[in-house]
Amino acid sequence: QTAINTGKLNSFRKLLNTSFKTCNCLCMRNSSDVNKRFVSFDEAVAQRRAEARRSFVVQVNSEASFNELYGYCSKYASINGVHHYKNSVGEHFMLVEFASEDNLKEVIRSCSVHQKDIDVMALQSPFVWFRAVNDKKGAIVPNATLSCINGTEEVDEDVLFEQLINCNSVSEQIQTLYDKTALNDLGVRLRYMVARQLETVFESMYANVAVRPFGSSVNGFGKMGCDLDLVLTNVVTDEMSDPSKRLIFQEKKCEGGRSPWQRHMELVAETLELRVPGATRVHRILHARVPIVKFAHYFTDMECDLCYNNVSGVYMSELLWMYGTLDPRVRPLTFVVRRWAQTVGLTNIHPGRWITNFPLTLMVLFFLQQKTKDGSILPSFKTLFQKAGKEDIRIAEENLNCTFLRDLNKLPAETYGQSDASLEALLLQFFEFYAQFDFEDKAISIIEGIPVRKPNNLALYIVNPLEQALNVSRNVSFEECERLKLEVRNAAWQLDAGYDREKSDDWGLVALLEKKAARSLKRLLKVGNSQRLVSVKDLFNEDEENEKNGKSKTKLT
């Protein structure tokens, strides 16, 4: 942080590259990787999937159950680590990671079912609970410690803003926002656990099945509590369909006229309802371009979207993840932009005619591809495509070419990170760039890294880098695009006007990110104006009401 504040970005970069922070980077290097600067997405994902295959989640009475649970499990297997968290209703869970997958199998074999009951129907899954007993003989004092740093709880807003107020610069505020709100290691582990749980259920129904997280859970731009996008695949490999083999499985043809995968997704939804402990509120959205089944996962407090065979979504996550690892400023900057868009009401949790986090992220990447006098911070997608080798060829569903360079260690150093601009300077430049952008005639395309002609007159045009004919912001209305233009101008003006820290706590990001109504309320609380407080509270409620209805909000002063 100090390095960033003083503009010594290279020393900061070195510092970051040598720190093996596992949360969003998902990177853990082993001795053979010491000379490698970048870990690939596939390596990071393989490590997370392997971790999930040797872990399970145990519901316990409280944190105090740790010694007892550790003692009990270590009778069967050796334990790598235990992570504690609470769900939103205050129930306690421990994610236990064993030394190997066989270790976990051993422990699973020792588990029992709860009751002999036709309503329940026994099943095995990596989500279990720990029965309380009076005789605590099994409890031992483990030689490992319980990891429970904040579990999966989102940082308290008041605490966060207090920390932002106490920072020394806007750059430090941006970094703090990222550090305090990014999805942590346990958040990532649990997302892979849910994927693994589904995989174990579907394994018996489909050959070579895999359930993988994609989107913000794995692309490095996820915040604590983000939704979990999952894709189910059952790829038939060349080996599986080897024509020299003479014994071939009898197969079941899907009949009935409708798209086979719509029918299979119905079965998947039924299975979630009947056979997946923790899966609740299952909704089928099967007529969309990408049919999905939505559900909530009770044990982990996650909102999940499961789709079939959308492999391009995974490759898109890989691409975003790679851009995020190339330069340590990319993720913090994207976080602050996403957070600002949420504060001013440009994004909304409900789907609609407004921009969402994914196209916003592309806008940040596009801005970072712009050439300055020092060069650019990120390379164009075209560069990544041109540098791709045979090993990078990937063809997704519907023959979509998702080929691009995967090993960033092969990327020439002069194609990225060519500016020492601080995060504060970049944020201001981001707003200024879009305040002047010609949205009427130009499209945003990270393929070229420069504005290109819009092929139609939709309000906002952001090219999908993996499917060039598609606009990822085609849903955005003219009204919403106008609001976007207005808000970037406001933000540029606000940041450019500077601040006087002596006079007010609302400086830098605090002024930019804290909801105006909440700020007014706090200010009144400070001066103790109890009479006016009642009416301001009402205004605050109205603000929340507006938010639910998706209307423009936080216009209160």
Residues that bind Mg ion (CB under 5 A): 215-216, 227, 229
The one of ligand CTP, Mg ion, none whose footprint includes residue 316, by CB under 5 to 8 A per kind, is ligand CTP
Find residue 375's DSSP bridge partners. Answer: 372
b/e map of 80-117 (b: 16 or more CB within 10 Å)?
A: ebbbbbbbeeebbbbbbbbeeeebbeebbeeeeeeeee
Segment holding 477, helix H or strand E: none
Residue 79 phi/psi, 5° resolution? -105, 135
358/434 with CB nearer ligand CTP = 358
To the nearest whole angstrom, how small is the minimum distance from the Cβ of residue 171 to ligand CTP? 24
Ranges within 127-186 binding ligand CTP (CB under 6 A): none
4/466 with CB nearer ligand CTP = 466
Contact 59, 91 (CB under 8 A): yes
Tokens found for residue 303: 């909102």
- Per CB under 6 A, the list member of 357, 380, 403, 419 interacting with ligand CTP is 357
Contact 84, 146 (CB under 8 A): yes
Query: From residue 317, how far is each of 199, 310, 468 by CA, in Å?
Result: 20, 12, 16
To the nearest whole angstrom, how small is the minimum distance from the Cβ of residue 358 to ligand CTP? 4
- Alpha carbons 421 and 423: distance in angstroms, whole number: 7
Find residue 86's DSSP bridge partners. Answer: 92
The one of ligand CTP, Mg ion, none whose footprint includes residue 364, by CB under 5 to 8 A per kind, is none
Q: How many residues of this chain bind ligand CTP (CB under 6 A)?
A: 16
104/476 with CB nearer ligand CTP = 476
Torsion angle of C-alpha atoms 60, 65, 69, 72, degrees rounded to 10: -120
Number of continuous H segments (helices) and E segments (strands) in the chain: 18, 16
216/376 with CB nearer ligand CTP = 216
- Alpha carbons 408 and 411: distance in angstroms, whole number: 5
To the nearest whole angstrom, how small is the minimum distance from the Cβ of residue 313 to ligand CTP? 4
To the nearest whole angstrom, how small is the minimum distance from the Cβ of residue 307 to ligand CTP? 9
Ranges within 210-249 binding ligand CTP (CB under 6 A): 214-216, 219, 222, 226-227, 229
What SS3 state is found at 294? strand
127/367 with CB nearer ligand CTP = 367
x/- map, 277-316, ligand CTP, by CB under 6 A: ------------------------------------x--x
Exposed/middle/buried for 241, CB within 10 Å: 0-12, 13-18, 19+?
exposed
- Per CB under 6 A, the list member of 356, 380, 403, 429 interacting with ligand CTP is 356
283/532 with CB nearer Mg ion = 283
- Alpha carbons 426 and 327: distance in angstroms, whole number: 13
- Per CB under 6 A, the list member of 47, 317, 334, 422 interacting with ligand CTP is 317
187/215 with CB nearer ligand CTP = 215
**26 is a site residue for ligand CTP (CB under 6 A):** no
Contact 397, 312 (CB under 8 A): yes
Closest-CB residue for ligand CTP? 215
- Alpha carbons 320 and 301: distance in angstroms, whole number: 25
- Per CB under 6 A, the list member of 98, 299, 358, 507 interacting with ligand CTP is 358
The one of ligand CTP, Mg ion, none whose footprint includes residue 357, by CB under 5 to 8 A per kind, is ligand CTP
Provide CB contacts within 8 A for 390, sequence distance 6+.
none
The one of Mg ion, ligand CTP, none whose footprint includes residue 160, by CB under 5 to 8 A per kind, is none
Please give the residue ranges that form the binding site for ligand CTP (CB under 6 A).
214-216, 219, 222, 226-227, 229, 313, 316-317, 356-358, 464, 472
